[in-house]
Amino acid sequence: MNKKQKRLLWRIIIAAIFFVPLYLISEEFVKVNLPQWAVIILFLIPYLLVGYDILRKAFLGIKNGQVFDENFLMTVATVGAIVLGEYGEGVAVMLLYQIGELFQSYAVGKSRRNITELMDIRPDYANIEVDGELTQVDPDEVEVGSIIVVQPGEKVPLDGVIVEGSSSLNTSALTGESLPRKVEAGSEVLSGSINMSGVLKIRTTTEFDESTASKILDLVENAASRKSQSENFISKFARYYTPIVCYAALALAILPPLFVMLTKVGMGHYATVGQLWRDWVLRACTFLVISCPCAVVISIPLSFFAGLGGASKQGVLVKGSNYLETLSQVRVVAFDKTGTITKGNFAVTAVHKSPIDEQKLLEYAAHVEGFSSHPIAASIREAYGKYIDRSRVTDLEEISGHGISAKMDGVSVAVGNDKLMVKLGIDYEPCDEHVGTVLHVAVDGAYCGHIVISDEIKETSKAAMEALRKAGVEKTVMLTGDAEKVAAKVAAEVGLTDYRAQLLPADKVSCVEELLKECSGNKRLAFVGDGINDAPVLSRADIGIAMGALGSDAAIEAADVVLMDDDPMKIAKAIRISRKCLSIVKQNIVFALGVKLVCLLLAALGIANMWVAIIADVGVMILAVLNAIRCLFVQKL
């Protein structure tokens, strides 16, 4: 609790100590003979003690032309009650209202701190070695190219490359991925990750302002400034609502008794004319107490903020509450292929038509390709996965545009494409099942099958499409510059509903525009890309999602939602988080306004008294705030 809250707490406690015995006396639960004026004065003590700031704000509001706010509502209602002789109720309303305010202020402050902590990846200091001793400096002061030391348990303060040491890094604050990442000399490290085991020496590559941690912090902090429609709706609503209920209360206080007086209808219920007026004015005061809009006004921004915080903890950075709202309405998702659905790196996907053992075939190919730096050669070596003894290979000849022929263990081996096989006069079998780059292998002049190398589909892509379908996404479309055949195969394998192949980058934008036209009503289109060269498409879609964005500035700039790691499963997760958040917002609006309306009606009919009114008001607010905090818990979604 801060100072202000503590002071309010004490005021509430002392006022309550005064109030309870007084109330018992005034309601004649306890018999004490006190003159009327003494009771009034005694009641004024707790009233002023607990409510003086409300009275002051209401007065200042009137002076400054800002009449209708909740302070005004409370002031009029409580003063009204006291003037009408309902001292106990008047003071109780003020007391409970302040308890509600205290709770709200405490809950909001607490969740504000929790959420900020959750997102806090700000490094406090960087260690620099000077004359063999470590000194802590502000990360702001470290120049690019300096060597910094990060000890176990410390945050990496700046992006850089490891020059010495190895360790495992906890990147969960950045990616939501709980598995530690192994790093060694030469690895790039990102600021905001936590060093878990060994001491690392890092050469920095960015200044603090440009580092990943700063960029993410900046993004998250600004997110709450982009307000959602619901937030704008509520602030507009509050602007009109309060004056309306004030006039309604005024009407309630004047019109019915006037009607009764003039027509004499129902006059029989009241002993005197004074009784009649007293009854209706009291109803109007009750009406004012109920109408306080706090519950809704506080819970909506709190829900969104908690939602943004919870999402960022899961490695989903949403750039604003408005995007959270759009995300929840996504029905069509368009994907880039390379780097989004596929890994964007080449790997051996199949070995076929081989009369010899697959592993043996890979052994030949890996050795013959052992000298090449081409990514395809690297992928074969990786698939082989064992030590390559280059001394086994002799007479190596690279035939440009065809492949390689060599002698391995004295046997002639040729590895290359169709053209190479034709050239060597070897009868080969074309690959008709698989799509990708095909490398034929011939050993001792005889055909030994082929290796298919292609971009691998991410392990989670298929499950991700299923998850999207379950999350209510009707259409998943892949947009790719790749060949028709490759696109068709990937689309079928992953379970996309549609694909467009052989697109130039500019075609992707027109494709998205076409898809946008098909979206009617509240349906929204999301485009998911890896942020490299699809910035125009990201910004054209209703919502642009960049994935694997760590380290890519373009993506962080252009996208509305940034997925910190490469996992396409996060897309559905982001949608589910947004749905949960939006449904909580709706629950709160409907629940709070619903209860208020019912109570307003009851108050107007004279069924609900002040006690019901204030308990409804504070109770609804507490429930709405607690419900809003649920937005934070999205881990299991």
Partner 1 sequence: MKKSYKIEVDCANCANNMEEAAKKTPGVKDCTVSFMTLKMKVEFDEGADADAVMKQVYANCKKVEDDCEIYL
Measured from the CB atom, is 108 or 148 closer to partner 1? 108
- CA–CA dist 37, 561 (Å, integer): 65
Residue type, 66: Q
CB-based contacts of 399: which residues, under 8 Å, 6+ apart?
Answer: 405, 416, 420, 423
Q: Which of residues 108 and 200 has its CB atom nearest to partner 1 in the complex?
A: 108
Residue 597 has a CB neighbour count (10 Å cut-off) of: 12
Helices and strands, counts by H and E, the chain: 20, 22
- Minimum distance from residue 66 beta carbon to partner 1 (Å): 5
CB of 57 to partner 1, least distance (A): 6
The least distance separating partner 1 from the CB of residue 291, rounded to whole angstroms, comes to: 13
336 given a catalytic annotation? yes
Q: Is 245 helix (H, G, I), strand (E, B) or coil?
A: helix
Distances (CA, A) of 364 to 356, 384, 446: 11, 9, 13
**3-state secondary structure (DSSP) of residue 338:** strand
SS3 per residue for 394-412: EEEEEECCCEEEEEECCEE
Give the alpha-carbon dihedral of 38, 41, 45, 46, to 10 degrees: 80
Which of residues 321 and 476 has its CB atom nearest to partner 1 in the complex? 321
Nearest-approach distance from CB 56 to partner 1, in angstroms = 8
Shortest Å distance, C-beta 141 to partner 1: 22
- Report how far apart, in Å, the C-alpha atoms of 421 and of each of 53, 134, 448, 547 are: 91, 63, 11, 41
Contact 599, 608 (CB under 8 A): yes
3 state SS of 167: strand
The catalytic position among 131, 138, 218, 336 is 336
Question: What minimum distance in Å lies between the beta carbon of 72 and partner 1?
Answer: 12
Nearer to partner 1, 285 or 296 (CB): 296
CA neighbor of 515 nearest in space, from 335, 338, 365, 636: 335
Q: How far is the CB of 586 from partner 1 (least distance, A)?
A: 18
Contacts of 329 (CB under 8 A, 6+ apart): 522, 523, 524
* Rounded Cα distance, 502 and 299, in Å: 48
Beta bridge partners of 167: 183
Q: What share of the chain is helix, strand, coil (3-state, %, to 5)?
A: 55, 20, 25
Q: Which is nearer to partner 1, 308 or 546 (CB)?
A: 308
List CB contacts of 55: < 8 A, sequence separation 6 or more: 48, 71, 75
Matching residue, tokens 């015995």? 21
- Distance between start and end Cα atoms, the chain: 32
Which residue number, 158 or 308, has a Cβ lying nearer to partner 1?
308
Shortest Å, Cβ 574 to partner 1: 20
Residue 42 CB, shortest distance to partner 1, in Å, is 29
Comparing CB distances to partner 1, the nearer of 490 and 625 is 625
For residue 315, give the nearest of 220, 226, 221, 225 by alpha carbon. 220
At 571, which helix (H) or strand (E)? Answer: helix 569-604
Q: What CA–CA distance (Å, rounded) separates 175 from 298?
A: 30
User: Which CB, 227 or 381, lies closer to partner 1?
Assistant: 227
Q: Which residues bind partner 1 (CB under 8 A)?
A: 4, 53, 56-57, 60-61, 64, 66, 69-70, 101, 104-105, 108, 112, 115-116, 221-222, 224-227, 235, 238-239, 293-294, 297-298, 300-302, 304-305
Nearest distance in Å: CB 10, partner 1: 17
* Measured CA distances, 182 to 22, 25, 169, 198, 425 (Å): 69, 72, 6, 11, 48
Q: Supply the residues annotated as catalytic.
A: 336
